[in-house]
Every structure is written in structure tokens, then in C-alpha cells.
Structure 1
Amino acid sequence: MSTQADAIVIGGGIVGTTTAFFLRRRGRSVILLERGLTGQQASGVNFGGIRRQGRALPQLAMSNRALETWRHARELIGADVEFLPTGHTRVCYHAHEVEYFHRYAADARAYGLDLEVLEGAALFERFPFLNRNVLAASVSPLDGHANPRLAAPAFARAAARLGALVVENTEIVRVERDAGEFRVESANGAVYRAAQVVICAGAWASTLSAQFGEPVPLVARGPQMAVTEPVPYVFGSSMGVYTSNKEESVYFRQIPRGNIVLGGGKHGPADTQTRRAAVLPEHTVGQLAQFRRLVPALAPLQVIRVWSGVESYLPDSEPVLGRSTTTEGLFYAFGFSGSGFQIGPGVGETMAELIDTGSTPIPLDTFSIARFLDSGGTSSTRPAPSAVEVSP
């Protein structure tokens, strides 16, 4: 006995749930399969930043598309995901990073992202609370933040209301092409069939893509997150330090209740087998030191909770998006390297468009899984570029 649909989406994070949602809006029957609960891993434990700036330029078309969904989420899905268009600001401590801010702002303008770079008196007039060691700020006024605990489950519920079959607590053990369609088998023996499959399984995606001769060098890491006691609400814009020194990295946002959410610094350990990730105390201590360096007046604040989750990272920090190189009807969307939350709805809409129509005006060649495969079809570990740390 099997369940049939036009398309099967494997993975219930922000990318998988929005892909299912937009496929249903296009009238395609959809089965969404999630091994745990929707939004339980990377999509539910991240910083919650709705950040376009700092992304690789080829990502900006999907990132802009995503922002439109975030802005209209309440009308689209009938739920409040606590999106606040408060702006996003990056700051830096080093002269060469100031130059980069100006260069990136000029390049991003051609992709529809307008940034304001502030230095000197203008910087501290806008942000008087910053340490005077800060040299510049790059401000993206239309960005903001949302609640990651709410978003993916809300999109999943919206997809279900439109008619998608959402199946949680179902681990997929085998995906194979059988008689012109895909046969997807779960650990409990349930079978699902569809003409098309999209794998959005995050840190577990390579296990499935390898079944089609397309393994990728995914690495699991745990974000180091913390939240402080509440203080009066004064910080509108999300803010993060842009730096090539990972120990200097910190980012924060304040929610209307007054608590300040912190992230950044070194990653912690994460295990795909146990589906657990840890926060290391020394990382939280380092995070707080950089937070106090950035905003000295907040030095007395106390952390009241820490958390982590399982995120997936690729050597070049770019996701895998688009068609399989070996199998007709198979698509991928995973490996966002810690920056998938904001862009997720844009990826979901783009993947739904590609699956439904066979094409999309947004170029995806840069993100093809082919870049990790040599001529023999085995995984190639292309070295990572000398990228700098960017706040989510």
C-alpha cells in the first residue's frame, strides 16, 4: 500500500515547508515528509535574522523574493511569525573591512539591494551605543528578524490547509526511481510515490543524495545561541560584527519583550546520528566578551538560556540547489551553511516554480550539486574560499 502525489518534499525545515506551500499554491499535490517535527532542527534554532546583505551576489534574487514572503507572511499563511522589518546592520573594526562595505554596497545595488554605509560622526549619531573602536556600519533598512520557532511549522500548517499531506516523525531510509516514478520508503515501512522528489533534508541530505551517486561533503555544526534577561526595548535593528577573525564575531537582536538574542563566535559539536548539538560554556563566555566589546553599556546583562541545533555546512559555504545530475525528476535544496532562514521562502518559491514549470528565471547553475562531483560521480572536496564571517 502506498500514498501517491505529484511531488514529495523530504525535510520539514523552512525550505521544505515553503516548497510544499508554494507547490500547493500552484495546484500540485504534495507530500511533505519530516523525520522529527517541522522546524525542529536548523530552521528552528537559528538566530532568526532576515538578512540579505552579506550574501553572495547570486543568492540575492532568491533573497529578495524571500523578503516579499516575510513581509506578507501573515496574509499568505494566516499566522504571525513575528517578522519585524527593523533593519539589519553590520559593523566592522578593521580598515580593509570598511573598503569591503563600500565595494559590496556598490555591487549589491545592481541586484536590488540598497545599503547605506556610515562612518565617523554619522555612524555614532545613528548608533551612539557602539564602542568607538567600530569604524563603519552597513545598514540594510528593509531587513529585520522573525521567530524561527514559529516560521517552519506555520508554513507547514498553511500547506496542509491547502491540501498537502504533512507527515512528521517519519524517517526516510530509501529513495529510488521505480517504473518511471520515485518510491520513497520510511523506516516504519510506509511507502510514498511521486513523479518528482525534492530533498531538503539539511545535515542528513547527503545520505539520500548518495543513493543517486551524488554524495556531498556536508559537515554538521551547532550554532551557539544565547538569550539575556529582558531590558527596556531600545535596539530596533539586528546587528552583527563582520570580521575575518571568528573570535570577534557576535550578532544580536532585541525582541519587543526586551530580551536580547545572541549568536556568533565558534561553532559547537553536532551529531547527525543522535540529532543533538551542544553549547560549549567557553563559547558563550567568548560571545559575551565580544557583545560587551561592541556595546559596552550592556556589560551587566546576564544570560538566562543557551541552545543549539544541527546545521549543515559545505566547503564553499554555498547551498546545493536545483536538479540532480543523474536522475530525472530529482531536485535538491540543502546545505545553507548557517544562513538559510531568511532565504528559505525564496528558495521554496523558486524550487516550486522549477518543479512545476521546468524552469525558473533565477540562475541556479552556481549552486548545482555538480560542483562536488568529479568525472567518476564521486564527491569532490573543493576548498572553501577565504570568506569572512558574516552575521546571520
Structure 2
Amino acid sequence: MTIEAMDKAYVLPTYARNYDAHFVRGENAMLYDAEGNDYVDFGSGIAVCSVGHGNPRLAEAICDQAKKLIHTSNLYLIEPQARLAKRLAELSGMDVRTFFANSGAEANEGAIKIARRYGTDDEGNVKRYKIITLEHSFHGRTITALKATGQEAMHTYFGPFPDGFVYARDIEHIYDLIDDHTVAVMIELVQGEGGVQPMERSAVQKLAAALKERDILLIVDEVQTGIYRTGEVLASNLYEITPDVVTLAKGLGGGVPIGAIMTTLKEILKPGDHGSTFGGNFLSTRAALEVLEILESHKTSGELDHMMLLFEERLKEIARIYDRLFDKEVGVGFMRGLRVKEGFDAGEIVKAAFDERVVVLKAGRNTVRFLPVLTMTKEEMALGFQRFIAALDRL
């Protein structure tokens, strides 16, 4: 029985699988299928494989930890968890405590619980509960995170949903939706699934100041933008704001599942208010520590910023040359996209690119999305764009 046949027979069909390749190994920005064909990965597992595939330092750290302890539960002290929480505070420049989960959706669920706790008094009386998010946002697949997602198409089939979420058209519209029941505003500084849409910096800074004046929490979903994806440890650093809550996942573990909730509300939760069986165990936090060390060095050397600039320049050139297909280049750092013109389908471009053995992604607003590994080399970048251009020429 083939792998494809087994997948179709036994795996719940929640993904639109691409069965054209069966990847068996990787090396930095390169993937290799069962036949030995190489692919340039401009998607990095949807922004997860931050330090590349098969990274020897990450593999060694995981192997070393696995030989000692993988898991003991959060009933006991976990050294790499404590060290990781300290490192995140130091690198972000924020005065925070951190809770560790297993995914972005879990991190966002925890952030929502923090907001709801903030709006409830010590006797359990709910004073404020409403959370404002943006249209085109994406915050996860659990019931509450799905309701927080400002895309109506995501709210089909799974109701009834939790109450208390309203959606703003844009940042300016948020002010119109604030009332006496509003406890928090939750945003992505660069919408990923929504089509690689960066927020305007001055508008975000104005919003952060206004919310602080009104004692309304600012939650920033950095599941995709965090851990150097936009060039800084947090996109919040890039925007020069200090949110009350920041959520992380994806690139933090380099492929090992981990989520994190960083909050300046250091006393908001007490024992029993929240928890996770697997969250922050020895394996995931040891992996994340190694990822941060690798990426901090890559940033400090100037190589990360240099490669991000080259990538941006190349995409802008492609948008200019292939103006029949693309309106413009969009994005920040290594979170970028090409906005496809009306009459063309981003999905067709993604498929054509895959046929040329380069992995790119599709996002909302008809956008071809690029989320390359942060350790990509110039040679890998050049080969990837060579193949992407070949795909465009075929179209």
C-alpha cells in the first residue's frame, strides 16, 4: 500500500494535499523528495522551519535533550522552560512573564482568557468582556480562536460560537466599536493568512497609546510575525510598541511544536487558572532556546537584514517586470507577497512554481506568499527565484 493510499484511507481529509511530491529530507532551504528531486522551499512549513531543514545545531540539541528528559509535566521545575522565559523577556526588551503552550491557536486562546480575566473582578463578576479584532485576521482553528478570526467564511458549521467578538474594517474603525464592555483589542501587525497585509506604523502606535489611556488591553498575535520573521525578535519591536499580551508559536521551535503567551500582566493568573500537559516541556523549550541562539547570532552578524533586503529587492523587480500578473510587492522582512491582478489566480501561480520545484504559498486577497527559512543562503535564494521566474514565463 502506497503512502498516498494510506493517507487517503486513514487520515481525516482536512487538508487539500499536494500529492505531487513526498518529501523525505531537507537541508536548510532545500527539500528532497523520494525520487531525489530537489525543491527550493520559500514556505518553510508556513513560517515554522525558521533555522532551515535538518539544521545540525537544532538536531543536536533535540537529540541531546531527548536522551535525558523529554517530559515530566509542569508539576515540577523545568530548567529550559525557565531559561527560555528569561531569554524571551531579554530579547524582546519587555518586562513579562510567559506561559508555554503547544501551538498558535492555544497561545491565542490563553491570551483571550487573560483578557477575560482582566475584565472580571475577584468575585467573578464580569465587568468587561468584548474583544475587537480585524476583518481578514486569522487567530487559529479552535472554537474561540476561530470566532476571534475576522473572516466570516471561517464561522460556518461550528456554531454556536462564544460571544464577545466584534470585527473592525481597519484600525480606524476600532475606535467606533469601543464601548463600556470592551476589554481588549487583538491584532496582527502583518496579517498573514489575510494576504500579507502590514499595518501602518503610526496608526498602530496611535492605537496602542489610545488603548492604554482607556485601560483596554492590546493583544498582538505574533504567531507568524514573531521570532525574527519581520527582522526583529518581535514585530512589536519593529513597530516600537509594548503590547499587554504577545502570542508566539510557528518559528519559535524551528519545527518542534511550541506556543507562548508573553504578558506584562505578571500577576493576572494564579495556580489553576490555566494549564497545559505538554506545554513548555523539556524537549520543546530546549529546541526553542537553540533556535533563539542561532537566530540572534544571524541577526547580530548583519546577515539576516542583508538577505531580507536582497529578497525584497528581487520581489520588487519581479513585480515590475511581470506587471501583467502582479499589482505590487507587499510585506515586511521574510514575510512577503506578490499581489496578483484581477483575472489571474494566485493558486495557479503556486502550482506552476511547484512544477518548477520551488515552494511558495497562497494567502488571502489573491496573494502569492513567501515565507523563506531565515537562514537562507544567496545561492538558495538565486536558485529559487530562477525557478519561480521560469514558472511565470510558462504562464
TM-score by length of 1: 0.27
Normalised TM-score (structure 2): 0.27
- Which structure is higher in helix share? 2
